[in-house]
Amino acid sequence: MKAALLGRSRGGQTSKIHIAGDRGCRPLVLILTAGQAADSPQFIPALGKLRVRLPVGRPRTRPDAVAADKAYSSRGNRAYLHKRNIIHDAELYKDRNTIERLINKLKAWRGIATRYDKTPESYLAGLHLRASMIWIKDLTRAIH
């Protein structure tokens, strides 16, 4: 696991977070890769891990639309979206800043922002813990 999630740069070890989130700035999928890894190949695995629970029945695995950064743009990714009938919505694309806001929420936790954890496993665990905290805060706000 370590080799796949940890890259090297002049500054030391690096890693990159790939996130799928909803319009409420809540994380749905977190993928950690080496810092020098390209973004585009992580698009399909991120969508493949996406599961949205419904009140009844099995979880939904296909979103209606996707808004992604240009780094995730490729002919293969567009073909994948077309094959699964996932559309490009120009209005939704204007809201892609929700992912940037989600990253800010994740990195508001100092351990994630500064990468104190030296092993990829503990860093990914911290990401999942912080993601859980975001969901809990959002769900408890909805109750009150």
Q: Is 125 left (phi over 0), alpha (psi -120 to 50) or beta?
A: alpha
Q: What is the pLDDT of residue 26?
A: 92
- Which residues in 22-126 belong to E strands, given as ranges? 27-34
CA distance linking residue 106 with residue 126, whole number of Å: 10
* Gap between the Cα atoms of 110 and 60, Å rounded: 33
pLDDT at 87 over 90: no
Strand order, beta sheet including 27-34: 7-9, 12-21, 27-34
Q: Which pLDDT value is given to residue 46? A: 92
Place of tokens 């690096």: 14
- How many Å is the maximal CA-CA distance in the chain? 50
58-74 per-residue burial string, b: 16 or more CB within 10 A, e: under 16: eeeeebeebbbeeebee
Mean pLDDT of 16-34: 90
CB 81 within 8 A of CB 68: no
Q: Can you tell me the distance from the alpha carbon of 11 to that of 85, in angstroms, rounded to the nearest whole number?
A: 42
Q: What average pLDDT does this structure show over 117-140?
A: 90
100-113 pLDDT tens trace: 999 999 999 888 88
Domains of the chain (ranges; CATH) run 2-143 (3.30.420)
pTM: 0.81
- In three-state secondary structure terms, 134 is helix
